[in-house]
Amino acid sequence: MAYIQNSPVLEVRNLSVSFQMNDGLYGQKMLQVISELNMKVHAGEILAIAGSSGSGKSVLASAVLGILPENAVVSGELRYNGQVLTHDLQKQLRGSEIALVPQSIEFLDPLMSVGVQADGHRKPYPARKRRELFKRLELPEDTGKRYPFQLSGGMVRRVLVSTAMIADARLVIADEPTPGMSVEQAVEALKIFREMAEEGKSIVLITHDIDLAFAFADRIAVFYAGTVVETASAQDFQAGPCALRHPYSKALWRALPQNDFEPAEGFQPYAGNLPKGCLFAPRCSRRTPKCEQETPSLRTLRNGEVRCFHAE
């Protein structure tokens, strides 16, 4: 595990993101979607980000690339190879050094063939190499000439995965790359990410397919209500609830169809209505008065990190 020693490629320190929303005719209101988030990714590692839908995972991706909408207010610090990621630097790096595999198929230009879009900044990319890559992802030979509307959901995702490979970026942020793919195709896509990591690249893999993340990632960061509640090695997730630290991570494990398929009670708090203290407290069976008053900070525990007073 060489990546532990080297300095992080991407470091996120105390990041908070809010959106300014209109409220009534003249009013304005802030919605806090990311709160004091801390995270590191090293060279040669796949960091999976798992967690609740609407917990700010895609917002984090947009913040790193500097493509947040205009009504976003950002505080905290982002560093890329030790350098502070300013807006100009982001502009310079995105698409070449930092690549995004977007979540929505709407990121593709509907009026451009997907082959040209896959080449991106490396245009013209050798057609032979692109065909080989497409073949590996089980895409038919003529896919490059097709337009997004002519492809199925899973095919578009595979085209999007190929863009990251072609871009040859040092940091890839893949936002939900696998939905719509069959298990075999998803495994192939993750093998491609694994190979890129072996070459020394850093991969941030945002995913709900946590069983695949267990198998391919080095570490997993669990998001809840806009912050990281736990980072753990993939082995801890494979081992199950006993090896995990945070009650939310344990609940995720239990909700898998192959485990108990048992949902945790309650719902993630809404960004406009975050509870005081621990964000998970309203759903937690182990909450104490302290949890409702104070926010736990991320602390190191058993070679991982956890944001909980009671984790042991």
Partner 1 sequence: MSQIVSEGTKPAAQCLEARKISFRYGKREPWIIQNVDFCVRQGTCVGLSAPSGTGKSTLAMLLAGYLAPEEGEILLNGMPLPKKGICPVQLIYQHPEQAVNPRWRLRKVLEEGGRLQETLLTSLGIERAWLERYPRELSGGELQRFCVARALMSNAAFLICDEISTMLDVITQAQIWRVVCSEAEKRNMGIVVITHNHQLARRLCSRVYGELSGLHF
- 136 counts as binding partner 1 under rule CB under 8 A: no
- Say if strands 299-301 and 98-101 run parallel, antiparallel, or are unpaired: unpaired
> In degrees rounded to 5, what are phi and psi of residue 82?
85, -15
Q: Please, which residue, 89 or 243, has the CB nearer to partner 1?
A: 243
* Binds partner 1 by CB under 8 A, chosen from 256, 288, 297, 303: 256
* Residue 15 Cβ vs partner 1, minimum distance, rounded to whole Å: 18
- 267 counts as binding partner 1 under rule CB under 8 A: yes
- 183 counts as binding partner 1 under rule CB under 8 A: yes
**Cα→Cα distances 126→95, 189, 195, Å:** 18, 21, 20
* Binds partner 1 by CB under 8 A, chosen from 116, 264, 274, 301: 264
3-state secondary structure of 178: coil
Sequence-distant (6+) residues with CB within 8 A of 300 are none
- 261 counts as binding partner 1 under rule CB under 8 A: yes
- 249 counts as binding partner 1 under rule CB under 8 A: no
Place of tokens 């082995």: 235
- 73 counts as binding partner 1 under rule CB under 8 A: no
- Say if strands 10-23 and 27-41 run parallel, antiparallel, or are unpaired: antiparallel
Amino acid identity, residue 160?
L
Q: Terminal CA-to-CA distance of the chain, rounded, Å?
A: 24
* Residue 268 Cβ vs partner 1, minimum distance, rounded to whole Å: 8
- Chain residues in the site for partner 1 (CB under 8 A): 21, 50-55, 58, 103-106, 150-155, 158, 176, 179-186, 208, 210-211, 251-252, 255-258, 261-264, 267, 270, 272-273
